[in-house]
Structure 1
Amino acid sequence: MSFSPDPTSVTQLTPLLFLERSASVFPDKEAVVYGDRRLTYREFADSVFRQAQALRASGIGDGDRVAFLLPNVPEMLVAHFAVPLLGAILVAINTRLSAPEIEYILEHSGAKLLVADAGVLSGLTDFEPKVEEMVVLVDGSGTLPAGAIAYQALLERGSDDPLPLRVDDEHRPISINYTSGTTGRPKGVQYTHRGAYLNSLAELLHSRHHPDSIYLWTLPMFHCNGWCTTWAITGIGGTNVCLRAVEPATVWKLIETEQVTHLNAAPTVLISLANHPAAAPLGRTFTATTAGAPPSPTIIDQLGALGMDVVHLYGLTETYGPITVCETQSHWESGTGRVRMLARQGVAMIGADPIRVVDDDMNDVPRDGETMGEVVMRGNNVMSGYYNDPEATAKAFHGGWFHSGDLAVWHSDGYIELRDRAKDIIISGGENISTIEVEQAIVSHPAVMECAVIAMPHDHWGERPKAYVVLKPEAEASPAEIIEHVRGRLAHFKAPDEVDLVESLPKTSTGKIQKYVLRDEIWGDRKSRIN
């Protein structure tokens, strides 16, 4: 039996519908704040139409890829609606990539036009983008490169004439987001209008947004389209507070002056905020949503003392950002036990299929909190595939599930808890050691601000843990003290053999610690990272 619904009862899902509604329901409400700039939802919609009409006048049309290399400025937010409004596909590029990396993404995606920030371009060497046209936004720093046109000149090609905020097919690609590429060339992850719409709603629900939300952009918009929050805040009619660069002092100032209620950030960003001299109890409801790496119970406790309610999510670029949430339960005990429960990755978000942890034969592992397996997922929150890479897509979707490459245990209550990336697990004398477990033991030391644990080669055991530790300002602790601290919390074989005290850790633009940089220092030119 087949069902053919009447068009009266079907609307193709797209985040464009969010702007249609908020521009009508909240026309005079502040939609965007950036320094002295303030845009109402009526003005924000006009900006979207103007950019879309300008891109159309520049030859952009159905299916074209348009690249944006911008920090968290209003023009980047506008692009998330203007580009798909034309049936085109947004390619948001990491602003911290090198010139060759950006050139590869432009070439692989086939982007026709690039909109770039002058300040970002000024930091690139020998940058030669192969696009039909480059548009440059001068926002405080940098100059207009030869051969490029100014963003304002682009806008002058357009008009404020409205375009229908609809899509003919919800399965159309809305964006292509490139993976980090730390194990090879980055892959282009395709999001659809439908997936972006549904994941936006899930973000609103799980991060507890409401029309009075004032959201501070500490998460890069180029990262998984800001976990779809680029669209979601408009959906609920909240206010976007744009932030060009994340500086803890500036973040705390904006939290106070703009009365911010929500932000998203990786744990490393939250650590820097919690340990900044300006940190003080907020005295009002505030939600900090975190993902990108498992937050330690220590930082969750620190943020709670400041009045921040931490929402812990987990996901990947291939899942529109977060796909699980650690749903709090009223029966969880208070104190340390509750904080440890909150550090788990949890269960599937609304809109996603249930998450599984499986063995090599795709069988569910026991829900005993001890047996490790790979996290696999499927459903509305999973990418449609890798752009122009059917082989990689087929491999990732083997067995009808997306394979994350993350290792976790499954608890009896159905919650999953990450133990490691498959490539990050330390195998010492045949025993598996979770670097996450060791890291959480280290940061529970009162002098430690953050750390990273990796495997180092060992002639007898094969691999042993090594820790890189950043101490809190003016705090003191010796490597021996830290090792002994871990031994008091974990089996002795899990404690690191070596601890290096460092001033900082290498990180991505989204705050993830780049463990491969640390590995390269230890393993050097060895062909195998298995000793």
Structure 2
Amino acid sequence: MYNGLNTFGTIVEHRAKLKSDERFIRFENTHLTYREFNEGGNQVANFSQQLGLEKSDTCAVMLPNGPEFMVTWLGLAKLGVIEVPINTAYKGDLLSYILNKSECKAIVISAQWVDRLMDIEKDLHYLQQIIVVGEKDQTTSNKFHWHSFENLLENASNKPVDVQIQPSTPAVILFTSGTTGPSKGVVLPHSANFSVAKTACNLMNYVEEDRLYTVFPLFHVNA
């Protein structure tokens, strides 16, 4: 029974101690153990801190499903940086609206979508750091600081960052679909996601031996 703080970082650290080398995530032909997932999150937290991100800053994540999305989500949470997951179909005015409305200082983005940022470069008022997953071959702009996710991860410490996170600390801003008007950002603390996960486990009678498969994109609340 887990009796610690209901924050992403403390929960994952607890599980990593109990089930260190057991498989936690499987994606296509790769997998992460609990320890690897926890340490990967620490690495993201450390390199994000080195780039100047601080607790309560916002960082967009525009990635396809995969381990990179997961460790980024965890690492930002450990640092107290608020994640802003972005629908990977967004571009143009809608993409600039989300980035400006949430005042994102950084974005972790797949190389395949960097050109979308270049298309709206002049409209981005807060973005400073662009962290690219994969090889980018597009023309980039001197307006931003560019980084390779893989290089940052390789050179970052896997030790925990010294940041105090509480259950009430904001963890994510989820934007609504915008069906009846401009999308609205909904701020959720660490405790909200913990409560949703706990409720789902109770309703579905999940047990530790179960395996969950998601077909949803990780930027979506249902994932």
Q: In the alignment, is residue 216 of structure 1 matched against residue 213 of structure 2?
A: yes
- Matches of 2:39 and 2:19 in 1, distance apart? 14
1:114 to 80, 85, 107: 107
What is the match of residue 95 of structure 1? 88
| Unpaired runs of at least 5, structure 2 | none
Superposed, 1:91-490 pairs within 5 Å as 91-121=84-114, 126-128=119-121, 129-130=124-125, 131-138=127-134, 143=137, 145-147=139-141, 148-156=146-154, 158-163=156-161, 167=165, 169-224=166-221, 226=223
What is the match of residue 66 of structure 1? 59
1:136-186 CA deviation, whole Å, 9 max, x = no partner? Answer: 1128xx64552432211332452112236962x322211100111122211
Deviates more, 1:185-194 or 1:214-223: 214-223
| Unpaired runs of at least 5, structure 1 | 1-9, 227-531
Greater Rg over alpha carbons, structure: 1
Structure 1 160/209 Cα, relative in aligned 2: closer, same or farther at 3 Å?
A: same
What is the match of residue 19 of structure 1? 12
- Letter of the 1:79 partner, please give it: T
More strand per residue: 1 or 2? 1
Contact 2:58/2:103 (8 A) holds in 1: yes
- Letter of the 1:198 partner, please give it: S
- Matches of 2:155 and 2:96 in 1, distance apart? 26
More helix per residue: 1 or 2? 2
Contact 2:115/2:138 (8 A) holds in 1: no
Contact 1:134/1:149 (8 A) holds in 2: yes
1:412-466 CA deviation, whole Å, 9 max, x = no partner? Answer: xxxxxxxxxxxxxxxxxxxxxxxxxxxxxxxxxxxxxxxxxxxxxxxxxxxxxxx
Q: What secondary structure is seen at the aligned counterpart in 2 of 1:194?
A: helix
- Sequence identity, in percent? 28
Q: What secondary structure is seen at the aligned counterpart in 2 of 1:33?
A: strand
Superposed, 1:71-82 pairs within 5 Å as 71-82=64-75
1:308-341 CA deviation, whole Å, 9 max, x = no partner? Answer: xxxxxxxxxxxxxxxxxxxxxxxxxxxxxxxxxx
Contact 1:137/1:151 (8 A) holds in 2: yes
Deviates more, 1:154-163 or 1:95-104: 154-163
- Matches of 1:145 and 1:172 in 2, distance apart? 37
Contact 1:54/1:154 (8 A) holds in 2: yes
Q: What secondary structure is seen at the aligned counterpart in 2 of 1:215?
A: coil
Normalised TM-score (structure 2): 0.86
- Letter of the 2:209 partner, please give it: D
Structure 1 132/225 Cα, relative in aligned 2: closer, same or farther at 3 Å?
A: farther
Structure 1 22/94 Cα, relative in aligned 2: closer, same or farther at 3 Å?
A: same
- Matches of 2:131 and 2:8 in 1, distance apart? 25
Contact 1:12/1:166 (8 A) holds in 2: no
Higher relative contact order (CA 8 A, sep 6+): 2
- Letter of the 1:149 partner, please give it: H
